[in-house]
Amino acid sequence: MARNVGDRFACEKCGAVLVYEKACPCPEKDTHHEICCGEQMKAVVPEPAKK
């Protein structure tokens, strides 16, 4: 799965956050691994904007 500008991943152990500043040029079928503290980081789902 490709990564887009602004995609965020967080480490549940140390709290580090990875943010993609540039879109990933890999084909959609390629897999990615965001690893921190020896574990896959979790995608951070953006909260809906409040009105």
pLDDT in tens, 1-51: 788 999 999 999 999 999 999 998 888 788 889 999 999 999 998 777 777
DSSP track, 15-38: --EEE-SS---S-TTS----EETT
Given a contact cutoff of 8 angstroms between Cβ atoms, the answer to whether 38 and 2 are in contact is no
pLDDT of residue 9: 97
pTM: 0.80
Question: Could you tell me the CA-to-CA distances from 37 to 11, 14, 15, 20 in Å, in that order?
Answer: 8, 7, 10, 19
In this structure, are residues 41 and 18 in contact, taking their beta carbons and an 8 Å threshold?
yes
